[in-house]
């Protein structure tokens, strides 16, 4: 099979497409023929070892000291199950699915074997393969921070920094689904986009400083790592929570309760299949849809990495791994998008 491989850390050009052995599913695994994947900020960090402050010395221990331990990047995917292990009962051959291998990676390939009880779910009926591939990275992170950790409530005021990115655009939509009033912060070029996905108000960071506006928020969700508790504590209401999605080591260590019952929440938890099923339900109800920056072919994988490296993508950069037509027999497909 073809896979996008990197054997040393560095710029996008360290990635190339090579032929490698096709995996075979173990007894409790499914083999997925991948139709689409994304190049995420997680791929950028693993490829370049560009880490939040304080995590630089730790990164080689995680990803590999002498070179990448996992040479195939890719944190999320959508595709069709081609084969199942002897003890698989949850899925069937020809099921259309989306999955989130997360930092185990491996999705930048034509095939990937995953445990049947891992973060895999049937593809939302109304989403195409490229759309379904872009659900997990941003959607799961936003869901973990807003619902699981910050316990966002209806009527609260939420501000999302980096509202046009993969995590930020998911956070805007999820906060609205939970009944919050949402303000998005992004570049002027993406104001209309962020408004179109549900933000009640949008701030151009180049023109207005939300910290100096005098407004207060119950939750400030920083998806790109540009603020701190010291900088925005006055913009948090009593009991407010600062969510640091892209936090440095010192911020993780200092997370917790602050004066006036304010709190800093940093670090992430484990993705579960429940997260995917929750996002699938919202997607099928028309209440959540991933934002796609652009769709590129597998042969354009280096260009995709370059785009992510700019830090200016809106939503996800999707890679079309397979050009196979939609299989009409897959269990999740009635009413599916092309």
- Residue ranges and CATH numbers for the domains of the chain are 2-135+290-320 (3.90.180.10), 138-266 (3.40.50.720)
- Compute how many other C-beta atoms are within 10 angstroms of the C-beta atom of residue 284: 16
| pLDDT beyond 70 at 318 | yes
**What's the pLDDT at 327?**
52
Confidence of residue 211 (pLDDT cuts 50, 70, 90): confident
pLDDT in tens, 82-109: 999 999 999 999 999 999 999 999 999 9
Rounded Cα distance between 233 and 213, Å, is 13
- Give CA–CA dist 104/74, Å, rounded: 9
- pLDDT for the residue numbered 330: 44
Q: Does 337 score more than 60 pLDDT?
A: no
Distance from the first to the final alpha carbon of the chain: 25
Average the pLDDT over 309-317 and give the result: 96
Alpha-carbon span 285 to 291, nearest angstrom:
16
- The confidence score (pLDDT) of residue 136 equals 98
Sign (positive/negative) of CA torsion 198, 203, 209, 215? negative
How confident is the model at residue 294, as a pLDDT? 97
User: How many C-beta neighbours within 10 Å does residue 286 have?
Assistant: 8
Q: Judge whether residue 163 has pLDDT over 90.
A: yes
Cα–Cα distance for residue pair 2/155, rounded to 1 Å? 49
Q: What's the average model confidence in pLDDT over 104-129?
A: 97
Structure tokens at 219: 């939750």
Confidence of residue 326 (pLDDT cuts 50, 70, 90): low
- What would the pLDDT profile of 166-200 be if each residue is shown by its tens digit? 999 999 999 999 999 999 999 999 999 999 999 99
For 221-252, what is each residue's pLDDT tens digit? 999 999 999 999 999 999 999 999 999 888 88
pLDDT higher than 60, residue 7: yes
Write phi, then psi, for 292 (nearest 5 degrees).
-115, 120
Q: What pLDDT, in 10s, does the model give residues 255-273?
A: 998 988 999 999 887 899 9
φ, ψ at 54 (rounded to 5°): 95, -20
DSSP state of 4: E
Take residue 13 and report the two structure tokens written for it. Answer: 């050009």
H-helix or E-strand containing 257? strand 256-257
Place of tokens 């997680």: 42
pLDDT at 298 > cutoff 60: yes
Q: Residue 328 — very low, low, confident or very high, per pLDDT cuts 50/70/90?
A: very low
């Amino acid at each position: 099979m073809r896979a996008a491989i990197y054997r040393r850390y560095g710029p996008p050009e360290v990635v190339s497409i090579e032929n490698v052995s096709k995996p075979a599913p173990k007894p409790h695994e499914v083999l997925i023929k991948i139709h689409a994947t994304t190049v995420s900020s997680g791929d950028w960090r693993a490829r370049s070892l560009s880490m939040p402050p304080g995590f630089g010395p730790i990164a080689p221990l995680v990803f590999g000291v002498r070179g990448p331990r996992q040479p195939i990047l890719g944190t999320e995917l959508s595709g069709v199950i081609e084969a199942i292990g002897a003890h698989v009962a949850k899925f069937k051959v020809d099921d259309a699915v989306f999955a989130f291998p997360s930092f185990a990676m491996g999705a930048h390939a034509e095939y990937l074997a995953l445990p049947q009880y891992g973060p895999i779910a049937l593809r939302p009926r109304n989403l195409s393969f490229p759309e379904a591939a872009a659900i997990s990275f941003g959607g799961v992170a936003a869901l973990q921070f807003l619902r699981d950790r910050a316990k966002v409530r209806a009527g609260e005021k939420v501000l999302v920094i980096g509202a046009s990115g993969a995590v930020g655009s998911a956070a805007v939509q999820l906060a609205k689904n939970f009944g919050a009033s949402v303000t998005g912060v992004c570049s002027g070029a993406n104001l209309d986009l962020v408004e179109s996905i549900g933000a009640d108000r949008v701030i151009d960071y180049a023109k207005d400083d939300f910290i100096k506006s005098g407004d207060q928020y119950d939750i400030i969700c920083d998806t790109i790592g540009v603020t701190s508790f010291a900088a925005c504590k006055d913009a948090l209401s009593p009991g407010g929570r600062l969510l640091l999605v892209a936090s440095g080591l010192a911020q993780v260590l200092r997370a917790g309760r602050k004066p006036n019952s304010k709190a800093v929440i940093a670090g992430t938890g484990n993705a579960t299949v429940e997260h995917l099923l929750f996002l699938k339900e919202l997607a099928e109800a028309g209440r959540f849809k991933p934002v796609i920056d652009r769709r590129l072919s597998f042969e354009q994988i280096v260009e995709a990495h370059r785009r992510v490296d700019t830090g200016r993508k809106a939503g996800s950069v999707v890679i079309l791994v397979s050009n196979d037509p939609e299989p009409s027999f897959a269990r999740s497909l009635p009413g599916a998008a092309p």
